[in-house]
Structure formats: C-alpha cells, structure tokens
A and B are shown apart, each in its own frame.
Chain A
Amino acid sequence: MTQRLQLGFVFIIIHMSFGYLLYPKLTYSLTKSGHWGIVLSYGLLQLILIAIYKKGLNYFPQKDMIDIFLTMGRWAAFIFLVPYAINLNALIAMNIRAHAEDIISIFLIRTPYWAVLVLLFLISTYTAIKGLSTILRASAVFFFSINLFVIFVIASSSVNFQLQNALPAWPLSLDFLWNVKFLYLMGFSAILFLGFVPSETNLKFGQLTAAWLYVLFFYLSAVYVPLFIFGQETVTTFVFPMKEAADSVDLSWFVFNRQTLFFGISIIGFNLILNAVKLWMIGQIMQRLFPGRRSKASYWILAFSFISFLFALCVPNKAWIEKLSLMSEGTNVFFTVILPSIIFLYVVFSGRMRSYGET
C-alpha cells in the first residue's frame, strides 16, 4: 500500500515537472480561448492510453514492460525499447537543459549553464543509481514539500488575478485536436514509467485515475495562473509564463522579495525526480536487453547520463532548446502511443491464438 502511494507520488511529480515547463506555452499557442478544453481533452486522451496500457500490463501480473517485450521475442524488445531508451536520453538532456535555463533566470543570472547542468546531472545520476526504491522513498518527502510550495505560489499569485483576462471561457473551435502542436502536447506524459513496475504491486486503474485528476488540476493551474494575471494577449510573449506569473507577486508581509524563489525550488525538486526516474528506466532497459557479467544498471546509467550531459551542453540557446524539446517530446508521443498499443495487441492476439490452440 505504501509503495502504491509512493508510486502515485512519483507519477504526479513527473507530470508536474513536464507541466510547469513548456506545457503552458504550447497551450497558449494552440488556442486563444477556452484553454481548459485543451487540457481536458489532453487528459482524456492520456487516460484512454493509460487504460489500454493497464489492460495490457494486467495480463502479466508479475512481469514488467521489459519482460513482456522479451517474451514477445528478443528482436521485438530490441526494436522497440532501444530506440525508446535513446529517446528517453534525449528527453533527459532537453529537460535538464530547459530547467537549467529556468533556474538560471530565477537564481543564478551570471552562472554559465554548464555549471548548473553538472549539478543537476550529478544528483539525478546518483539518485538513479540508488534505484527505484530510493526514488520512491525520497519522493514522499519531495511530494509534500513541493506541493506545499506550488500551492503557496498559486495562492499568493491569486492577489493579481483578474478573472476576466481568461475570458472568453469557451473554446472557439476544436481545431486544436488536429494541430501538430497538440500532438507535441501529448508528449508531456510519462505514463510509460508505470510499465516498469510489475502490475501486481503497481497502482490500480482507479488509483491512477485519481492521481491523473490531481495532475490535471495542476496542469490547469499552470495554464490558468499566468492567464488570469496577464491575459492571452500578453502571455504568448513569455518563454516561461509561470515564472513571470510568480514574479509579478509582491507580498509586503513576507521576508522574501520574490515569490519566484518557491517556484524555482519546486522546479529543482521536480526536475531531480523526473530525471532520476528516466535514467533509472534507461538503466533497466539496457541492463535487461544486454545481459552480461559486466552489464550493471549503474554503468549504463552513468554512460547514458554522460551522453545526455554532453548533448545538453551542446544546445546553444533558448530557441534551440524549444525546438529540440519539441522534437524529443514528439518522438515521445510516438512511443507513448505505440508501446501500450503493442502490448495490448499482443495480449489480444496471443490470447486468441491460445484459445484456437485449445479447441
């Protein structure tokens, strides 16, 4: 039970980390009104994917995703999981890079980004090497402190809310569903992480839905807090709208000058857990696919984190960060759709085969 709760925490933290980065900006570019329509339809689509994924996984109560692919055949595992690991690697690189940019603009204006990258990569790698159980246990502390901060930021920025700024409330059209950018939006999801824990000990679908609703609440807040303060016309000019929103608050009774402090802190927390989980996933994939005496998850994690560090180091500026992030998210969409469906199809197909065999 405790582990389920902690898995839920990690699930929520990972999504919040995505949500507070580029998610609002993409949403603003998709529509001019009724942003909740986008968030909710995104949520619904993800929920359907989760349902398919869970359905597939539940046929193998003691196996995780890698085992399932290995039972399909070694080749299948290689074809699908190795590219996925590479995609994860790119995601990590871009994620840390983008977060580093945000952190620098909040705290360390004059520090070069590589220094922050070194710090973030070291901690993430260390956490990933310590394994999932460590991540799960740490996530409880992270979850509560981060949520406290985020809720504080949301609550304090409500001073500047002008609710009319978010009007009109109804979406103008549903065109955004066919927009490529909406697909990118789908990439802000880490549901595949759930497959790395055998479904016996994993979250049940109902619990997942609850966690997902919580996540959606925060996605809505990430989209609407800047909108309430600045309005659609202004908000599209920002790179990190949530940061600007937190920056606009001036609490006279407070010790600190800037609320952004807390937003920055929560971003660091999100980022560490997110990247640790991703690195751990890579480690699991590579270790199982290339078994050998010297093939240890920790070596793979070290190697991959070094590669993504170099990759992140090479990205020159914000424009490139945005472009490359979108590209890696786009590829992630491909995997978040393909992998659950394949497991599901495999279950349906092999189940049918078995029933034929019996008759």
Chain B
Amino acid sequence: MANLVQEMKRTFADHDDFLILDTQFNGAAIYLIGFNTLIDFPKSNFYVRQMAERSASIEELLQNLGEQLDVDAGELKKAVLDGNLVVISENERNAIMQPFPQSLRRNIDEPRNESPIQGPLDAFGEDIDLNIGLIRKRLGTELLCHCSYQVGELVKQRISMLYIRGKVQSALIEKIDRQLKQIERDIETIDDLDKYFGHRKLSPVSHLFVTEVPFQAVHLLKKNRIVLLLENQPFALVFPHLISDMLSTANDRNHPLGLSIMIRTLRVMGVFITLVLPALYVALTTVNPDVLKIDLALFIAESREGIPLTPVLETLTMTVLVDLITEAIVRLPKSVGPTITMVGGIVLGQAMVEAKLVSNLLVIVITLMLIASSVVVGVQNALYIRSLKYPVFILASVFGIVGLISGLAIICIYLASLTSLGIPYMTFRYKGKEDIR
C-alpha cells in the first residue's frame, strides 16, 4: 500500500467514520479516501468507475476526476476534513474530487422567527452557498459584489459579504474588509462577530440586524446596506443596524402605502407603550396621583384596595413573570407551549387577581404591554425593547412622572450615542454615499 495512504490512515486513526475504499483500475489499485458521514460512498464509487471506463490511463482518470492534482499530504488532510473525496493511486499520484455529499442540509424552508404575511415565504438555510444563491437569484446584476472570507482559529469558517457596488461607500467596505480579516477567534454566534464592529459589551443593541427572509435582505441591499452571511447560520446579518429596522420591513410595502404607514405607526406605538406603560402605572399610583382625574384616581384606588404589595413590587413581579413566561414558551417544544401559556397566563393571572395579590388594573396594563412589545420587527429588537423598560420603570418608581420622562430621555440619548463604524444608529435617512458622518 502506498505511503500516502498509510499516512492518512494514521492521521485519522481516531475517526471511525474514516473510510478507505480500494478499487482496481487496469490492474492497479486506487484508493478513495474520505469520511463516510460526509460523502455518499456508493454513489461516488459508481461515478469513479464510470469515469474509469472512459479513461485510458490512470493519469487521465485522475485528471478527469480531480480539481487539484498531486498536492502534498497537508492539503489532502484538509480536503478530507472539508468533506472532499481524495483519490490516491498506487504510484502516489493523487487528486481531490468533489464527491456526492451526504445530504446534511435541510431544504429551503419557511422562516421560523419571522412570519411574513402576503410575501415570499422562502427563508435562508444553513448552507451558505444556498443563501448566496437565494440572494443572487433575486439580484441578477453584475453590481452585486461578493467577498468571501475564511476565518477562525480551530475551524476555518466561511463568511461572505455582499453589497451592491456604487451604493455603499467604498471606505466603509474597506473598513469592514479590514475588520473581517482581523478575526482570529472562532465565530460561532452573532455576538462573536459583533465584537469586531466596535466595543459594545453590555449594550442590548447589536451592530447587525438579523433577518431570515431573503426578500428583506435584498431590500436592504438595495437600501445601501451590506449583508453578511455566516456559514451554518440560517440568516443574513445586515450592517449597519438602524433604528428603522425595528419599525419597518420590506414586506410592509406589499400593502398599500396608507396601510403600511398604519402598520409602522402601530409599531412605534408598541415600542412606546412597552417602555412607558409599567412605568406610568407605577408613577401614577405611587408618586403622582394628582395628575389623574378624580374619578380615574378613585377607580385605581378602589382596584388597589386591600392589596398588600406596593405598586412597585407588584408591577416588578408581574413584568418579570411575564418575561419568564415568554422565555419559557420560546424554549419549550411546540406541544407543551400552549399548556404553559394557559396555566401561566390565564390561570396564574386570574388566581393572582382573585387572591388580591395584584390589582386587576395591573393585569390589564401588563397584558397590554406584553402585546405591545411583540409588534416590533425582529426577535432581537423585541428583546432589547423589553429589556429597556426596566431602567425606565426603576426611575419612575422613584421620581414618578419626572423619572419616567428622564428615563425615556436617557434611552433616547443612549440610542443616539450608538454608532457602528461611524454610522449612527438613530439615522432615519441612511443614504450610504454621502450621508455618513
């Protein structure tokens, strides 16, 4: 047996799925080497045999099969790890060929985290080439540029950057290019990638906007943004992330303009209500009942009669409880989820009101808030809006209306201070070419 084959065998001795298949060609042995978990061996073998019948010599066969010929042992090992089939002949000639892969990818599916109404239903999958294909299919122009990167320490992972030439500032592309080339660690999650766009350790707002829908990604590409695709992640990461992403999707415009304006207004209201409502309840019940009309004030007072918890504690309990339930439902399998919703939401809420632990007005307030917090676009955005309500709430419980307003002001100022690579988060008119400060 050839030395090369022996060496390969030694290297992959710990891998039970490593397979060396030897066949004959004109009396000489050739070895097909690869992982049977990544390669469909019977099919590949059949293909090799078919090719062998048409080839006159072993050299010709290898030329027919391989993309690369006669590479060194290191390259061969890498090729095996990447899921390619290595063909080695007795006389130490070798080739790397594209095999029939085991199908490890799911098909193009419907989006799981977003649910577009009246819009295209295909979603990104785990296969990066497929994802790029989905975008290319919609943007058949030579202006769509694609840069590919291989980064990582342990495993080299593919990252692709797509943009439309002429729409994005070239300085910005160079900056991102530099950032992506700097990456030395493994990129597993969005947060790992996020770190390379600037320091935002505790910030709830990411530099990248996540979308599952190719339609949305293409729309944003046309809006002068840059789309990054990570291998094995079923979504596109849009840079820069702007506040308007929270409020509008491309899909809105499948409705008439008036309706889409209404939808977006509702989203703005949703954000506002989520931030304000619990804080307002606390402010009005503990610090500033004087701003209420007398009947409303008496109504609230009556609904709170006999409740042992202070409004602050009461509201805090309920908001945390609601956030817990939301988180629990996300984690649970779909079959158990509704049960939890039932017990958690309805039974517990009802029981708490009947036991006079919380006032029934608060239950209304909390439900309203929960509904409102779900109207924004993107799971990530909904989560960060939900997290921002706590500082407002804390300020409001100390200073009442003043605290509520200053809390909102702080949030506004904080969001205004965010920039990613010099692009402010709070721009409503992102022009790309000129308007970057």
Is chain B's interface secondary structure helix, strand, loop, or mixed overall?
helix
Contact stretch, chosen from A8-16, A122-130, A231-239, A339-347? A122-130
| A109-143 at interface with B (beta carbon < 8 Å) | 111, 115-116, 119-120, 123, 126-127, 130-131, 133-135, 137-138, 141-142
Interface size of B by CB at 8 A reads 29
Given A2-B429, A119-B406, A133-B424, A256:B413 Cβ within 8 A: no
The answer to whether A268 and B429 touch across the interface, beta carbons within 8 angstroms, is no
Complex partner residue of A272 from B290, B294, B400, B406, CB under 8 angstroms: B406
Q: Is B78 an interface residue (CB 8 A)?
A: no
Chain A residues, Cβ within 8 Å of B118:
none
Smallest beta-carbon distance A96→chain B, Å = 13
Residue ID in chain B nearest A130 by CB atoms: B417
CA distance A133 to B424 in the complex (A): 9
Smallest beta-carbon distance A266→chain B, Å = 9
Residue ID in chain A nearest B395 by CB atoms: A119
B414-428 vs A, CB cutoff 8 Å, 1 = contact: the mask equals 001101000010110
Given A107-B401, A254-B293, A264-B401, A123:B406 Cβ within 8 A: yes
Smallest beta-carbon distance B268→chain A, Å = 12
Given A137-B426, A268-B402, A3:B437 Cβ within 8 A: yes
The answer to whether A119 and B402 touch across the interface, beta carbons within 8 angstroms, is yes
Given A108-B399, A108-B402, A258:B291 Cβ within 8 A: yes
Chain A residues, Cβ within 8 Å of B292:
255-257
Chain B residues, Cβ within 8 Å of A116:
399, 402
Complex partner residue of A141 from B399, B412, B437, CB under 8 angstroms: B412
Chain A residues, Cβ within 8 Å of B290:
257-258
Chain B residues, Cβ within 8 Å of A257:
290-294
Smallest beta-carbon distance A7→chain B, Å = 13
Q: Is B159 an interface residue (CB 8 A)?
A: no
B284-324 vs A, CB cutoff 8 Å, 1 = contact: the mask equals 00011011111010000000000000000000000000000
CA distance A123 to B416 in the complex (A): 14
The answer to whether A134 and B416 touch across the interface, beta carbons within 8 angstroms, is yes
Q: Is B405 an interface residue (CB 8 A)?
A: yes
Please indicate which of the listed interface residues B294, B427, B437 has the most CB atoms of chain A within 10 Å of its own CB.
B437
Shortest beta-carbon contacts, A-B, top 4: A137-B416, A138-B416, A134-B417, A130-B417
Point out residues on B near A: beta carbons under 8 Å: 287-288, 290-294, 296, 395, 399-403, 405-406, 409-410, 412-413, 416-417, 419, 424, 426-427, 429, 435, 437
Can you sample 21 A-B contacts with CB below 8 Å?
Answer: A3-B437, A107-B288, A107-B400, A108-B399, A108-B402, A119-B399, A120-B406, A123-B410, A130-B416, A135-B413, A135-B416, A137-B416, A137-B427, A138-B416, A142-B409, A254-B293, A255-B296, A257-B290, A265-B401, A265-B405, A272-B413
Point out residues on A near B: beta carbons under 8 Å: 2-3, 103, 107-108, 111, 115-116, 119-120, 123, 126-127, 130-131, 133-135, 137-138, 141-142, 254-258, 261, 264-265, 268-269, 272
